[in-house]
Every structure is written in structure tokens, then in C-alpha cells.
Chains A and B, each alone.
Chain A
Amino acid sequence: MDKSTIVCRCEEITVGDVENAIAQGAETFDDVKRLTRGGMGLCQGKTCRTVISELIAQLKGESVAAVPVPRLRMPLRPIPMEILAANQSGTSAMFDLLDQASRKERQEK
């Protein structure tokens, strides 16, 4: 493959970009993703996952099976914010920065 061949269409990442990442020590799809943004776009790696994993295997002289599989991220398909927000959740894990600041200021006194 040519260095300029695009492997991740969403983020326009090329073979050369992936090679660079691997030269910097990246060994997995997730490593390459964080360095290049390949796989972070709209399709979330559905198109490029295999190609990038194969490139890693090739460059490292391993079999594709030896390259760890990437983590899949929820939601598996893009979903409008309002659909998520139309639901109510049972927990409250949220915190308020202003409230937290006031609490700490009081603790200090």
C-alpha cells in the first residue's frame, strides 16, 4: 500500500500516519487510535478497524490474531442526544463544581 492510502475515511488517516504511530511504539489499535484519531470518527472504526489491525500485524511481523481487539464504545451506532436525554436515570453520579468549591472553602475555614 502507498503511504498516502487512506485507511480511516472519517478522520482521513493514511497508511503513513499509522506507520508513524507504530514507529513511536504503538502496538494496538487503541494505541494507534489515540495517536492518530484513526477510528475515532463517525463510524467509530467500523471501516478501518480491520485494515489498521492488519497493518499493525504486518509491520510487527505477527498474525492479525495476535493484535489485541479494540474496545467497543457505547452507543454502537450514533444516536441523537435528545433520544438519550428523553430517558430518566435512576442514579445521580453528577456533581456540581460550584457546590464542590463552596464545600471546600468551608472546610478550609
Chain B
Amino acid sequence: MSREYDTIIIGGGIIGNGIAYHLSEVQSDGILVLDKNYPLSGTSGSTQAWIWIHSKSPSWYAEFSLYSAELYGYLQRKIGDIEFDRAGGISPFFTETEREQAFKLAECQAEVGIEIQVLNREDALAREPALSPKILGAMYSPADGNVNPMRLVEQYMRASKKNGVTFEYYNPVTGIEKQQGSFIVTTAKTVFRCKKLILSAGIWTRELGKLLGIDVPVKPVRGQIIITEPLAPLMKHTLSIMRQTSNGEVLVGNSQENAGIDRRSTLDVMIETANMAVKYVPDLAKAKVVRGFSGLRVMPEDEFPIFGVVPGIENLYVAALHSGITLSPLIGTLMTELITGGETSVPIDRFSITRFA
């Protein structure tokens, strides 16, 4: 006997949960979220979790990211405390070339309504005294912030359950078929049947797509982070390589490696990261590093989000993207509009999977 749902979402990370929650606000039952592990075991449990806008490029992408950031305050009021902090973002620079780049970027972003101030050294240090006096200046934008990704996923799940969503953990999807207008989703434990299917399994979305004969061009790009012991409040803003969480730890890291599905930390990158940390914020020299971790970015071939309907297979949807923390509430909102047959409130044509065809 197969169990029936209207909509099945495969993948319970920040993206799958964001979609489940937003969808559950308008469709109260018949939604199932499946995860092969527990929801934070994928990329969403190993991320910096900045809500990052000001140095997103091109500016249409920054503008898209801004819409999502604007939704966060409202989201927090609805689902409960997610430690959302619109701290403002700062990108320090050390060279004249970078200063020129900063002015150009500020000009482009202003056209889409994102405010960036290019600060000189004194103003930057006044704003963020923890920064190194060796910086030449910094970009500052009030648009950026950060959130606690663990709380976000947990609160999404709680709110979704309240709205009637069912979750199945430790239940990997092993097969998908389309038969007479329904999807037959085979998992390790059960066979499910549904009308609408959403693939939002992070880097594993590619594998799932193959089961239906579609290619979702995402690859894992490893990022390594180091974390300090909890420190007294040191920095106020989200910096372009680090942030301090509300319980005092500092997370540092901005590495990118093509390492396949390999989530080990490596000493060389940890060393580089530590060098970067003290270069930006000298006071961190004395801080103790308690842990290194790494995560696998969900990186689409052209680096921009892939989401929306999958043409050719009716009622199939996909959502696989980098910067999922920044974009989660917006993706959840837009996917809900799509799934419920409405028009999206923001044009999404450029994010269609058809661009890779």
C-alpha cells in the first residue's frame, strides 16, 4: 500500500523547509517532507548564515537577494525567534584597486536601491572598531545581516508541523517514477504517491533529477570554517569573512575548493583562514579556536539559483541554489505562488532550469 500526499518535498534543508512552511500557510494538508538524514545534516547545518546582499553581483541578483532579506523580520514574527540580526555588512579592503572596485559596485547597487557607503579608514574604524588599522577602507551597507541557521530550520519545522505538514526523517528516496499523472516516490521505508513533487535536496538534487531523466547542474564546492570559543562582544557587523554569533563565538571562513563530496577540514585551509582572521581583526589572535567544520555549497553551473517548474514533466518543481540562507523566505514564497497556480510576485524566468538546455 502506498501512502498518498498532494505534495512531496524531497530534502529538508533550509530550502525544502522554507518551501514547506510557506506552502503550508496556504495549503493546510497533504504536504510531506522527506529527508534521508536529519534536516541539518546537509549544507544548511554547516554554513556562515549571513543574509548577504551588498556584494552580490550583478545588481539584479543583489536586488533579488534584498527582497528576501526584507522578508526576514516578518518571518521571525511568524515562526518565532531565529536570532535574525540585521547587523549591517562590512567588506574591508586593503588596496587602491579594491577601493575603485568598491566605488563601482556601490554605483551599480544604488541603481537597484541598495545603499552602500564606501568608507575611508577612519570612518570604517569608527563604525567597526575591531577592524585592523591596516585597512584602507571598507564598504558598508545596512542591508546585510545574519541568522541562526539551526534555529531557522527548527522553527520552520515547528511552524510547518503546526500547519499540518508531515515529516519523515532517516528515509532516503531511492526511486521516482511518473505514472498516470502521479509520482511514485520509493523510499527505504515506504512507497509514496503524490501529485506534485519538489526536488530540493541540495547537492543531491542532481542524483534525484537523474531518476526522472533531467539534469540539474549543481556541484559541491567545499567551504571551510573555523570557530572560536565564545568571546565578549567584539564586532557589531557581519564582516565579509566572519561574524560573531549571539552567544559570542566567531565564525571565520571564505574558502572555496572543488573537493567533491568530502567534508573534511584540512590543516592548510584552517591555517590560511586563521591568517585571514587576524589580518582583518587583530584581536582575534588571542582567541581560542575550538572547532573547524566544512560544508558543501550547492553550486549551480552558472552560480545563480535554479528554481521553478521543470518543463516537460507536469507538476515537477526544482529548487537548488547557493546562498540559500539569504534567499530562503523568498524562494519559499515564490515557489508557493507557483505551486498553487498563481503568478509569482517577482519575475523568475531567469532562474529557470531551461537556461542550461
Shortest beta-carbon distance from B275 to chain A in Å: 5
Q: Is the CB of A81 within 8 A of B292?
A: no
B93, B139, B154, B284: the one contacting A35 at CB < 8 Å is B154
Q: How far is the CB of A8 from chain B (nearest CB, A)?
A: 13
Q: In the assembled complex, how far is the CB of residue B19 from the closest CB belonging to chain A, in whole angstroms?
A: 19
Asked if A27 and B169 make an inter-chain contact with CB atoms under 8 angstroms apart, the answer reads yes
Within 80-101 of A, Cβ neighbours of B (below 8 Å) are at 80-82, 84-85, 87-101
Contact residues in B for A88 (Cβ distance below 8 Å): 271, 275
Instruction: Determine the chain A residues whose CB is within 8 A of the CB of B229 once the complex forms.
Output: 42, 78
B287 touches A99 (CB 8 A): no
Contact B58 A108 (CB under 8 A): yes
- B269 with A91: CB separation less than 8 A: yes
Kindly provide the distance from the CB of B107 to the nearest chain A CB, expressed in whole angstroms: 10
B224 touches A73 (CB 8 A): no
Interface residues on A, range: 35 or more
- CA A94 – CA B257 in complex, angstroms? 9
In the assembled complex, how far is the CB of residue B282 from the closest CB belonging to chain A, in whole angstroms? 10
- Is B120 interfacial (CB 8 A cutoff)? no
> Which of B96-104, B308-316, B325-333 lies at the binding interface?
B96-104
Contact of A25 among B104, B169, B278, B287 (CB under 8 A): B169
Contact A85 B58 (CB under 8 A): no
Q: Is A81 a contact partner of B286 (Cβ separation < 8 A)? A: yes
Distance in Å: Cβ of A98 to nearest Cβ of chain B: 5
Q: Does B40 interact with chain A (Cβ within 8 Å)?
A: yes
Bound CA span A22–B55, Å: 40
Inter-chain contact A79/B289, CB cutoff 8 Å: yes
**Is the pair A98, B278 in contact by a Cβ cutoff of 8 Å?**
no
**A95 close to B272 (CB less than 8 A):** no
Whether the pair B284, A105 counts as a contact (CB closer than 8 A) is: no
In the complex where A34-B45, A98-B101, A105-B57 touch, is A73 in contact with B91 (Cβ < 8 A)?
A: no
- List the A side residues contacting B57 at CB < 8 Å: 100-105, 108
User: Which B239-280 residues have a C-beta within 8 angstroms of A?
Assistant: 240, 247, 254-257, 265, 267-278
Say yes or no: A74 contacts B292, CB within 8 Å. yes
A102 touches B271 (CB 8 A): no
Residues of B close to A94: CB separation below 8 A = 254-256, 272-273, 276
The answer to whether A80 and B150 have CB atoms under 8 Å apart is no
Chain B residues in contact with chain A, CB under 8 A?
Answer: 37-38, 40-41, 45, 55-59, 61, 91, 93, 98, 101-102, 104-105, 108, 139, 150, 154, 157, 167, 169-170, 224, 226, 228-230, 240, 247, 254-257, 265, 267-278, 284-293, 303
Known: A37-B150, A80-B287. 17 other contacts (CB 8 A): A24-B154, A27-B38, A31-B38, A34-B150, A73-B291, A74-B270, A75-B292, A78-B290, A81-B289, A82-B278, A85-B274, A96-B98, A96-B254, A97-B55, A101-B55, A101-B56, A101-B57
A interface residue numbers (CB < 8 A to B): 24-28, 30-31, 34-35, 37, 40-42, 44, 73-75, 78-82, 84-85, 87-105, 107-108
